[in-house]
Chain A
Amino acid sequence: MLEEPSEPGWLSEEVTTGTTIIAIEFDGGVVLGSDSRVSAGETVVNRVMNKLSLLHDKIYCALSGSAADAQTIAEMVNYQLDVHSIEVGEDPQVRSAASLVKNISYKYKEELSAHLIVAGWDKRGGGQVYVTLNGLLSRQPFAVGGSGSAYVYGFVDAEYRKAMSKEDCQQFVVNTLSLAMSRDGSSGGVAYLVTIDEKGAEEKCILGNELPTFYDQ
């Protein structure tokens, strides 16, 4: 039975970063992680997008939800932080960056559908992670977000320990991303990691075949 070929999804569906994002504090810094899949309905329109966006030298944010909304918020806050850091004459605090994101998310909460996790290092508070979902501002030892995060709540609840080292945190992030990417249809591709500490931000990309595998893979 021949059917009319239907219009490809990416012509009509909204582009979202249905995604998995995670950020975790350690003593002296933070580690952020994300997958790299951008989907428009059923089509993957970008399989290598880096969802860890720079807000300032030592402050990054992780994007999820509508790709356009998330990118725009990140760009606006990047600009506002540049102006702010020139005015105060020093590097901005992570809390300031999170607050700026929160202000936009809250003011336009009906129109926007993006969730950004803000994380970074500043000299006053060390490594910090903030969630800004729906316009709230809350500091947490670690945070997960995006569609893939539902599948790994159990894993992160069980595996998180206070006072993990930088390497343990990086391994924790990579394991979590790998598990979520293998279960969530909207997450996949490669894993991006950013480690921020006093010295600066270090970006890393882990290819799909280098990710940890579990019993059924």
Chain B
Amino acid sequence: MDSQIKGVSTGTTILAVTFNGGVIIGSDSRASIGGYYVSSKTINKLIQVHDRIFCCIAGSLADAQVVTKAAKFQISFHSIQMESPPLVKAAASVLKELCYNNKEELQAGFITAGWDRKKGPQVYTVALGGMLLSQPFTIGGSGSTYIYGYADAKYKPDMSKEECLQFATNALALAMGRDNVSGGVAHLVVITEEGVEHVVIPGDKLPKFHDE
């Protein structure tokens, strides 16, 4: 998939899933160099760009950090000008502009998820070349290949928060079990109108499946 990235990359598994009343965004915590050396076991790939908007990164770590810093600034500024919290779509669009206009140099993809007053919980994907797409749920990163089948089979619209947490945890655990550049702990953030809740599940507490 994306194994030609130089330097530190987040060969990774990231996902975001909407449920009834909110959205859950999740990722693993491994950063590796070329798939041979784990440079960090506990990196946080879930970046808060505003009170109720998070994004997660896949691809080159350096590119992702620079882009999210720039996006965070632009979104804060936009929100001050508008005198209201930004729309999730606005945040995703900021990332998309940065990715599209610099598509030759950058190698990073993003998932943006959050809650706003206009449309409620939403998930947006910004792909490598700068395409912006809204979906009920999405998966990304190298580990996502292994869970396409699981996600297609198990996702249901309008899940409860607990069902959605279980779905996201299982999906991350399955991907981390098969992808050698995903691993560590599972980070999950639950975003609802009321607020933001960060859940960390250490490796030994992840669900186990038949062969473990």
Contacts and interface: CB of A to CB of B under 8 A. Distances in A.
Interface string A124-159: 000000000000000000000000001111111111
A19 interface: no
A179 interface: yes
A215 B148 contact: no
Contact of A158 (B145, B148, B150): B150
B157 interface: yes
B152 A157 contact: no
A199 interface: no
Nearest to A216: B152
Interface residues of B, number: 22
Contacts of B178: 153-154, 157
A204 to B, nearest CB: 21
Contacts, number: 65
A215 B149 contact: no
B145 A215 contact: no
Contacts of B148: 151-152, 154, 179, 183
Interface of B: 145-157, 170-171, 174-175, 177-178, 209-211
24 contacts: A150-B146, A151-B146, A151-B149, A152-B149, A153-B146, A153-B149, A153-B174, A153-B178, A154-B147, A154-B178, A157-B177, A158-B150, A158-B209, A159-B153, A160-B210, A162-B210, A175-B153, A176-B149, A179-B148, A183-B149, A214-B153, A215-B152, A215-B155, A215-B156
Interface of A: 150-162, 175-176, 179-180, 182-183, 214-216
